[in-house]
Amino acid sequence: MKYDNILKIVDHTLLAQTSTWDEIKALCDDGMKYKTASVCIPPYFVKQAKDYVVDELPICTVIGFPNGYMTTSTKVFETKDAVHNGADEIDMVINIGMLKDKKYDEILVEINQIKEACNGKLLKVIIETCLLTDEEIIKMCEIVTKSNAEYIKTSTGFSTSGATFDAVKLMRNHVGKDVKVKAAGGIKTLEDAEKFIELGADRLGTSRVVKIVKSL
């Protein structure tokens, strides 16, 4: 697979707590140079990054990150603020405790309220697969399929593990045909990236793919 075909579906990511503007700026420079799908950055930097890239590169940010257990109204506020600051894409974390309690209708309501707050921007739903059983992953595929979100996403990269081949395969087999899959967290090699794409990932959240291509 050509590098360009991988890079164009990469959300070039930097979400470390220690991130500085110089690092975010460098991320944006690489995103523009290598024509990645977006850069995924902390909410604090969204406005500065959007002013910097203008319309050359989509800006993605995270909501309810990384634990997802904020109230829905808090997540909605975060989303509105991010969109106001220029975010083009939103990656939200579900309330995992809500899922464990089988409050499926409440999860659907939360996703759709956040989608409404996106004001037409793309929404990806992070389900943190490493904390879920296969049955819970399948249930989240059903819920996201019923929702207004465009993507289901494996991981934050801040929990016990990131994307796995088995989880992406399971998600692809159970999510609706109109819902896309994003694999994120722990994608370390171009071979990993290619395998996730083969299994049905439409987006990859990673900081390493661009670095590998640069080194080549």
Cα separation of 213 and 34, whole Å? Answer: 9
Cα separation of 213 and 7, whole Å? Answer: 9
Domains of the chain: 3-215 (3.20.20.70)
Q: Give the DSSP letter of residue 65.
A: T
Tens of pLDDT, residue by residue over 136-152, are 999 999 999 999 999 99
Q: Show which residues are catalytic.
A: 91, 153, 182
Tens of pLDDT, residue by residue over 146-205, are 999 999 999 999 999 999 999 999 999 999 999 999 999 999 999 999 999 999 999 999
Cα separation of 123 and 1, whole Å? Answer: 27
Q: What is the pTM of this model?
A: 0.97
**Which residues, 6 or more positions from 60, have their beta carbon under 8 angstroms from its beta carbon?**
11, 38, 39, 40, 41, 87, 88, 89, 90, 91
Residue-level pLDDT at 5: 93
Tens of pLDDT, residue by residue over 49-105, are 999 999 999 999 999 999 999 999 999 999 999 999 999 999 999 999 999 999 999
Residue-level pLDDT at 2: 86
Residue-level pLDDT at 177: 95
Query: Region 103-117: what's the mean pLDDT?
Result: 98
Chain-centroid distance of CA 27 in Å reads: 16
Cα separation of 157 and 36, whole Å? Answer: 19
Residue-level pLDDT at 1: 73
